[in-house]
Amino acid sequence: MSDLKIQDILFCAAFAGEIDKLKLDPRIHTFEAGIGELEAAINLQKYLLDPSTWKPKAILGIGSAGVYTWIPRKEWEGKFGISKVFANYQIAFLDKKIRLPETMTFKYEFTDLQFPFEGNDFVECATNGTGSVTLEDLSPRAMERIKVEGLGFENMEAFGLAKVCNQFNIPFGTIFALTNKVGPKGSEEWKLSWRKHSDKLQEKILSYL
C-alpha cells in the first residue's frame, strides 16, 4: 500500500458532477479543471501558479473513461480504471490521415506514483488522452498501435493534466469510472451510465479515508 494519503491528493475533474460527493468532505481537495485537454491544462497551470492555493503531493485526474475494444467487457465492467502512463494519439494520426510534427511529445509516464488504492476492482492500463471522443470503430492499423502500447482507456482531459504535472514535477495519475466501450455508441452509453458510475467511484475513494 502506498504512503500517499487521500488527503495529500488534488482530485481534478472535468466538471462538477464528477467531484460533487468528494467536495462535501473537507478532508479532500478537489478542482474543477474544465472539459478537454487544453482547458484542463490551462486551468491546472493557473491553479499551481497561484501562491494562495494549497499545493498537493500528487494530482489525480478523476472522471470517466471509455475502454478500447481490445479489452473484453467482462474484464472491466463494474470496475475502476487507473493509469500512470498517458499518450496523446489522435485516431486520424494513427490511421495516417493527418500529419503531426515529429518534435511533439506524445507520451508521459509517472512510474514512481503509487496509488493509495488496491484490490481486484481496479484495472490498470495506459490512457490515450485524445482531444475528442472516438465515435468510430477503430481501423486494424489504429487498433494494433493502441494495443501494442497498452492503451486501454480514452479520456479527453488526461494528457493535458499530465503535461502540466510533468512540467511542475508533480506525481500524476488518473482514476476513472469505466463507463462505456469506445466506438459509435460510446457517447450514448456514457450518457446513460456516467452518473451512477461517478457516484460509485466517489464512494470508493471516500472509503479510503
The DSSP annotation for 121-149 comes to TEEE-EEE--SS---SPPPHHHHHHHHHT
Residue 39 covered by a domain:
yes
pLDDT of residue 142: 92
Per the structure, the count of domains in the chain is 1
Domain that holds residue 104: 6-207
Asked if residue 40 has pLDDT above 60, the reply is yes
Asked if residue 103 has pLDDT above 80, the reply is no
Residue 25 covered by a domain:
yes
Q: Parallel, antiparallel, or unpaired for β 126-128 and 85-87?
A: parallel
Give the pLDDT band (50/70/90) at residue 2: confident
Instruction: Give the residue-averaged pLDDT of 7-22.
Output: 98
Residue 109 covered by a domain:
yes
Residue 1 covered by a domain:
no
Residue 44 covered by a domain:
yes
**Whole-model pTM above 0.85?**
yes
Instruction: Give the residue-averaged pLDDT of 120-135.
Output: 93
Beta carbons of 117 and 208 less than 8 angstroms apart: yes
Q: What is the CATH number of the domain that holds 51?
A: 3.40.50.1580
Q: State how far the Cα of 93 lies from the Cα of 7, in Å rounded to an integer.
A: 39
Give the pLDDT band (50/70/90) at residue 124: very high
Residue 154 covered by a domain:
yes
Query: Given CA atoms 1, 70, 193, 108 in this order, what sign does their dihedral have?
Result: positive
Q: State how far the Cα of 53 lies from the Cα of 178, in Å rounded to an integer.
A: 30
Sequence-ordered strand ranges (E) for the chain: 9-13, 29-32, 58-67, 80-83, 85-87, 107-109, 122-124, 126-128, 151-154, 172-181
